[in-house]
A and B are shown apart, each in its own frame.
Chain A
Amino acid sequence: MTLLPFFEWCEATSIGQTVRDSLWLFPVIEATHLVAFAVLGGTVLLVDLRALGLVLRSQSPADLARDARPWQRASVALALATGTLLFLSEPIKLYYSDPFWVKVVCLALVIPFHFALRPRLHAGRLAAFVSLALWGGVAWGGRWIGFSG
């Protein structure tokens, strides 16, 4: 079984065509995606570096994680929405892109980990390493999609 027919169907959707045919839509959506990444990446770095004891030691890790959560929810939602639009504009290229699959696998792991599992864990340091590795994989994959076009 292969997912290629699904990707071909995505390529043919009218949303994908609209984004692809427009001069401005892709760049504007991509820049929005980048702003969402910046907020998400920044708050993830903060919370994880705090859990590792590297920054803001006077603030409790749990408080910081709680303060960062609304930003993370909003920025993940924005990143997923804009990411879907970007994906629909070039699914077949992405199907053959290794960094894209790295990003998808990391995302599939990190979203349940971050929002469901981690708040119930007390293993601060290990969870911070896992989080940094997975979110780092998402960001790395995303950035490298652009370089391997």
Chain B
Amino acid sequence: MSLLPFFQWLASTPWSVSLHESLWVYPLVESTHVWSLALFFGFTALLDLRLVGLSMRRVPVSEVVHRLLPWMIAGFSLMVVTGLLLLYAIPVRTYQSVFFRLKLVLIALAGVNAFVFHTGVFRRASEWDRDPIPPKAARRADAFSLALWVSVVFAGRMIAYNWFDCDRQPQPSIVNWAAGCVVEPE
């Protein structure tokens, strides 16, 4: 089963067309998407510094996390909302973009990483809360998180390029498979 018909239907809705063609709204949504990313990244960077033990050493890790978390969730939510609007503006091409699909996989991995951190080593945070340098598992989760989010930004930026678009054929079959392109047999 393919989701393609759903995205084709989305593309035919009048709001999708207006959003795509608007001179100001699309760039504004796009800019907001990037700014909310920055907000999210700024908090991640600070949390990161604490988790590797470079700053706020005297503030317990759990306190840093609890203070930053609501803002990270706010930045993340704004990113998701604006991201969905961007998808809604250009549905079919985005759905069939290998970079978009890669981005979703990377976001899912970042989610798993965060889940493992919160249900694992962070649950025992009371044991190491005041350690200037947290245990290895926490630092590892932190490094994964940073690497994954940087990759998400890369994949997201690459959606703009059309090297692997379905309407550019011939493509290697692995590209067509990954992008879900419907190619007429020769």
Q: Which residues of A contact B (CB under 8 A)?
A: 23, 27-28, 30-31, 34-35, 37-46, 55-56, 58-59, 63-64, 66-68, 70-71, 139-140, 143-144, 147
Contact = CB atoms under 8 A, between A and B. Distances in A.
Interface string B21-62: 000000100110011011111111110010000111001000
Chain B interface mostly? helix
A35 B49 contact: no
B65 interface: no
Given A27-B157, A31-B158, A56 B42 contact: no
B116 interface: no
Given A39-B42, A67-B46, 5 more contacts: A31-B154, A31-B158, A38-B34, A64-B46, A147-B27
Interface string B127-161: 00000000000000000000000100110011011
Chain A interface mostly? helix
B38 A37 contact: yes
Q: How large is the interface on B (under 10, 10 to 19, 20 to 34, 35 or more residues)?
A: 20 to 34
A143 B45 contact: no
11 contacts: A30-B157, A37-B38, A38-B38, A40-B38, A41-B38, A42-B38, A45-B39, A56-B67, A67-B55, A67-B56, A70-B49
Contact of B42 (A30, A44, A139): A44
Contacts of A66: 55
B67 A34 contact: no
B9 interface: no
A30 B45 CA distance: 20
Interface of B: 27, 30-31, 34-35, 37-46, 49, 54-56, 59, 67-68, 71, 150, 153-154, 157-158, 160-161, 163
Contacts of A28: 154
A43 B46 contact: yes
Contacts of A39: 38, 41-42, 45
Contacts of A140: 31
Contacts of B56: 63, 67
Contact of B34 (A44, A55, A143): A143
A45 B34 CA distance: 13
Given A39-B45, A143-B27, A23 B163 contact: yes
Nearest to B28: A143
Contacts of B45: 39, 42-43, 68, 71
